[in-house]
Amino acid sequence: MPRPRRRLASTCIGTVTAGLLATGAALATPEKDRPEGSDIAMGAYLDYGPPGVARIPYLSSWLGGKNIRVGHTYLPGDKWAGIEGRVSFLEHWAEWRRAEDDRMFVLNVPMQERNEDRVPDHQVAQLIRAGAEGQYDRHFQRLAERLVELGVPDTVIVLGWEMNGVTYTHRCAPDPENWKVYWKRIVTAMRAVPGQEFTFDFAPNRGVDAIGWTKCYPGDDVVDVVGMDSYDQGPGQTFDDQITQPYGLQHQVEFAKAHGKSISYPEWGLFRRGDNPEYVRRMLKWIAEHKPLYHTITDYCPHGVWQCKQNPESSKAFRDALTPERPGPVVPTPVVPTPVVPTPVVPTPVVPTPVVPTPQVPTPQVPTPQVPTPQAPTPEIPTPTPVVPTPVVPTPQVPKPEVPTPQVPKPEVPTPQVPKPEVPTPQVPTPTPVAPSPLVPAPVTPSPAVPLPVTPSPLVPTPEVPEPDPEPTPRPSPAVPTPQVPAPSPVTPSPVVPSPLTPKPLPQPTPPPVNSKHWCVPLNFGEWLSKLVGKQSVCIKLDFGGESGLWPF
C-alpha cells in the first residue's frame, strides 16, 4: 500500500534537513533515538469480523498506547461469493481504515473456493489450469469493485498466501508454472478496475515446505511486497536456524532486495515450542532491523500473546518490546493529570490561619474612654456652687435677728445651734427664707462678719476648717454675737450672693479676734458630688472680744 507508506515517510522525513533528503540518509535515524519498530506499521489478527475491529483499541491500551496501524482479516474461501467480498464484515474494516490516513488494511484473499477442503493435488492442478485460462477472473474483478466501493482501494491484498505449503487448495506445488500465470491474471483483472490502488503481497511460508517459494514467484510486475509467514516451528531448532535455513528469513530479505521489493510479515507467532520469549524477542529485533512495510502477529492460541493467556513469558517480552519507551502522549496523559489535582493538597493552603484574624477582638471597642468623658463633664459642680450660697443658711442664725433684742444673746441660741449640724442639710430648701436677710439689715451692721460666713462654703472651706475644728463646741454658745452680723448685712448680703465669684478676697479677711469662736457645720452633697467637690462645711465666726462692746454680760 504505497500511499500510506509515502505519507508516513513524508512525516518522518519532514524533520530532516534538505541535504539529508538528497542523499537518502533521512531513513537512517539512529536506533538509539527511537524505540525498536517505532516507525513500522504494526497490527495483529484479532478476529476476522467486527470483534477484530473492536479489539484493536484494547490491544493498543495493553501496549501502553502504541498506535495499532494495521487491521488484518481474511475472506472466507469456502465459496466464490466470499472471495468476491460479498460479506458484511468488510464494511466494518473499511470504516476503521478510513478513520485515519496512516492506517493500513491487510486482506488475505484465497485463489480457489473450497480452499481448506484438502483437495488432492491432481484436482488442484486442474483448478490452477482453469484459473490460468481466465475462468475465474470475474470473481476477482467483483472483489476489486467491492473494495473500491467501500472506500478502501489501497487495500494490501495477500493473494494465495502460503502457496509453497500443503494446506490450501490455492497451493502452488501441483502446477507452479500455471500457478504463476493464474496469479498474473488475478492481479491484472483487479488492477483493471477504475480507482484501485491495491498492493499485492506475495507471502510464502518460511522454509522449503512443499516447494521452494522462489519457484512460485510470478514476477516483479505483479508483486509489490515479498512477505513471509514465520511461526516458531521447524525447520530449524533456534531462531538463528530460522534466519539461515534455505528459504528462511535471510533469503527473504535478500530476494526482496534483489527484486526491489519491500518485505512484510503478515503472520508470525508462537507454535510448536510453546511459550518461548526468546523467539518473540528475536523476531521483534529482526523486524526492527529490517523494517518491513508492516507486520501482524496472529493473536489467538497457541500463537498469540495478548488474547492467549498460555504464553505469559512471551506476552511480557512482546509487551516490553513494543510499549513506547519515550514518554508518548499516552503515558503522560493518564499520569500527569491525576497527580496534579490530588496533590494540589489544597488542604494545606487551608488558610485557617486567616481565621485567626481574631483581630476582631480589638478591644479598642472596649476603650472605656467613654468613662472619662462622662465623668469629666461633671461640671455639674457649678450647680453645687449655687447650692453653696444657700450655706448662707447660716443666716438662719442670722434670723436670730429676733435676738437683736435681748432675746438672742441668751444661751437659748447656743443650745439650738447644736442641732444646727442636723439642720444644715434640710436647710437647703430654706434658702427661701432669704427673706430674713432683709430683716438682718435693720438691726445690726457687723460689716466684716458677713463676708466670712459666705466664703467658707464655696472654695476655701478646707483651709479654714482645720483651725476652727480644734475648737470645741463649748463656745458656740456665744453665737449671740450674731447680732453683729445683721448690721453690716444690710449692705453686703445682696452682693454676697454673687460672692461665688469673689471667693478669693474672702480668705484675705483679717485674723479673727482673740476671743472669737469658729462654728462649722458639714455639708452633705451626696456620695457622688462629695467625691468631686470634697468635704464642705458652713462655718460661722463669732467674736466675743471684750473690746467690741457687744458682749452683754
pLDDT at residue 112 above 90? yes
13 within some domain: no
pLDDT at residue 386 above 80? no
pLDDT value, residue 159: 98
Rounded average pLDDT over 10-16: 38
Does 254 share its domain with 112?
Answer: yes
Question: CATH number, domain at 223?
Answer: 3.20.20.80
* Best mean pLDDT range from 48-57, 421-430, 479-488: 48-57
pLDDT at residue 458 above 60? no
The CA distances from residue 204 to 162, 225, 323, 416, 544, in Å, are 4, 11, 29, 154, 162
pLDDT at residue 358 above 90? no
278 within some domain: yes
The answer to whether the CB of 455 falls within 8 A of the CB of 506 is yes
The answer to whether the CB of 381 falls within 8 A of the CB of 533 is yes
The answer to whether the CB of 482 falls within 8 A of the CB of 440 is no
Q: Which of 307, 325, 343 is the last residue of a domain?
A: 325
Which three three-digit cell numbers place residue 500? 461665688
What domain range is 247 assigned to?
Answer: 44-325
pLDDT at residue 542 above 70? no
- Segment 462-469 long-range contacts (CB within 8 Å, at least 24 positions apart): 462/534, 462/535, 463/507, 464/507, 464/518, 464/520, 464/539, 465/520, 465/537, 465/539, 467/518, 468/517, 468/518, 468/519, 468/520, 468/539, 468/541, 469/520
Does 317 share its domain with 438?
Answer: no
Q: Which of 283, 298, 325 is the last residue of a domain?
A: 325
Q: Which of 325, 350, 380 is the last residue of a domain?
A: 325
Does 131 share its domain with 250?
Answer: yes
Question: How confident is residue 278, by pLDDT bands cut at 50, 70 and 90?
Answer: very high
Phi and psi at 93, nearest 5°, equal -70, -35
Does 400 share its domain with 321?
Answer: no
Does 319 share its domain with 459?
Answer: no
> Of 90-99, 289-298, 316-325, where does mean pLDDT reach its minimum?
316-325
364 within some domain: no
Rounded average pLDDT over 467-479: 40
> Of 46-50, 113-117, 249-253, 401-405, where does mean pLDDT reach its minimum?
401-405
349 within some domain: no
Does 51 share its domain with 175?
Answer: yes
**Structure confidence by residue, pLDDT tens digits, 209-235:** 999 999 999 999 999 999 999 999 988
Which three three-digit cell numbers place residue 108? 488475505
Q: Which residues contact 159 (CB under 8 A, 6 or more apart)?
A: 109, 111, 183, 186, 187, 200, 201, 202
145 within some domain: yes
pLDDT at residue 313 above 90? yes
Question: How confident is residue 334, by pLDDT bands cut at 50, 70 and 90?
Answer: low
For CA atoms 9, 14, 17, 22, give the dihedral sign: positive
Cis upstream peptide for 498 (omega within 30°): no
489 within some domain: yes
Rounded average pLDDT over 362-374: 49
**From its phi and psi, is residue 551 left (phi > 0), alpha (psi between -120 and 50) or beta?**
beta
506 or 553, greater pLDDT: 506
What's the whole-number average pLDDT of the chain? 73
The CA distances from residue 224 to 187, 216, 256, in Å, are 11, 15, 10
Does 125 share its domain with 255?
Answer: yes
pLDDT value, residue 39: 76
Which three three-digit cell numbers place residue 201? 503481497
The answer to whether the CB of 407 falls within 8 A of the CB of 452 is no
23 within some domain: no
* Best mean pLDDT range from 12-21, 244-253, 402-411: 244-253
**Structure confidence by residue, pLDDT tens digits, 480-512:** 333 343 444 444 444 433 344 444 444 455 555
Q: Which residue has the cell 461633671?
A: 378
Rounded average pLDDT over 160-180: 97
Does 396 share its domain with 319?
Answer: no
Q: Which residues contact 453 (CB under 8 A, 6 or more apart)?
A: 391, 392, 394, 395, 485, 538, 539, 540, 541
* Best mean pLDDT range from 12-16, 285-289, 324-328, 506-510: 285-289
What is the per-residue DSSP string for 40-69? SEEEEE--SSHHHHHHHHHHHHHTTS----
Largest CA-CA distance found in the chain, in angstroms, rounded = 187
Does 188 share its domain with 267?
Answer: yes
Note if the pTM is more than 0.85: no
Stated as kind and residue range, the H or E segment containing 346 is none
Which three three-digit cell numbers place residue 76? 472466507
Q: Which residue has the cell 523486524?
A: 287
pLDDT value, residue 427: 44
State the total domains in the chain. 2
The answer to whether the CB of 187 falls within 8 A of the CB of 136 is no
**From its phi and psi, is residue 219 left (phi > 0), alpha (psi between -120 and 50) or beta?**
left
Does 310 share its domain with 410?
Answer: no
Q: Is 539 helix (H, G, I), strand (E, B) or coil?
A: strand
> Of 106-115, 317-326, 440-449, where does mean pLDDT reach its minimum?
440-449
The CA distances from residue 433 to 36, 107, 125, 276, 494, in Å, are 129, 139, 163, 137, 14
Does 414 share its domain with 288?
Answer: no
302 within some domain: yes
As a whole number of angstroms, the distance between CA 73 and CA 161 comes to 13
pLDDT at residue 251 above 60? yes
Does 402 share its domain with 516?
Answer: yes
